[in-house]
Amino acid sequence: MIWFVLLAGCAAREEPTRSAKRAPLISAEPPHEAAAETPSPASAENEPVTTTEAPPTEPAPPVDETAPQQATRGSRTSKPAIGTPCTAGSASGRSIDPCGKTGRVAIEIDEASVQLAHQTECKLERTGRENMYSASACVHGDRLYAEKACIACRLPMSGWSARAVMAELTEAQALEIQKKLLLPTSRVLKTPADWQQAIAAGRTKP
């Protein structure tokens, strides 16, 4: 009887320990969150695409080819252009007053380059040479084209040039051009024939 009581007590003491061993273990890690769903390629293709259109650009204004062109860098072309109304003596800083005898601009001058003399179909003929300068001219219609080019300058096209309406030149203007071209100034050149004859004579100079 005593042995039975002792065995029953031992069994009672072991039962809580077994119960504790059977208890489920609780993980200390936090529960995992559900992964965010990523759209499938098919659903991405079906989504509308928003595009931003660039504002329309205004067309460039038309270029007036008949208007006088601006002088290029390095040139100092007298303005206004040939045929523009003017007053004699109103221009300053020019070797020749551009205002002709009819109250209009008779001559355009570039004090720094020979570009004006090359805006023509006639062939420039040499009329003389002085130190580092070579003078040339030609006649085309009622226009005279003249240049005094610097042949020793580093900058291309350096020198002096002019284009003029011969019939509207004053005597002072004509004589100044003759000096630039190294032509005789004993008489004033007036007509296209006068200028052509003087240019031909200058061409025969040694």
Q: Which of 137, 133, 118, 120 is nearest to 198 (CA)?
A: 137
Q: Say if residue 62's pLDDT is above 80.
A: no
Q: What is d(CA 171, CA 136) in angstroms, rounded to the nearest whole number?
A: 20
| Res 161: pLDDT | 95
Q: What is d(CA 115, CA 137) in angstroms, rounded to the nearest whole number?
A: 13
204, 128 contact by CB (below 8 A): no
Average pLDDT (99-117) is: 93
| Res 13: pLDDT | 52
155, 164 contact by CB (below 8 A): no
Q: What is the pTM of this model?
A: 0.61
Q: Say if residue 46's pLDDT is above 80.
A: no
- CA angle 166/172/174 to nearest 5° reads 30
Length of the chain: 206
Share of the chain residues as helix, strand and coil, in percent rounded to the nearest 5: 25, 20, 55
Question: What is the DSSP code string of 53-119?
Answer: PPPPPPPPPPP-TTSPPPPPTT--B-SS-TT-B--TT---S-SS--B-TTSBB-EEEESSBSGGGGS
The mean pLDDT value of the chain amounts to 74
Q: Say if residue 132's pLDDT is above 50.
A: yes
Q: Say if residue 85's pLDDT is above 90.
A: yes
Where is pLDDT greater, at 124 or 39? 124
Name the band, by pLDDT with cuts 50, 70 and 90, for residue 172: very high
| Res 69: pLDDT | 40
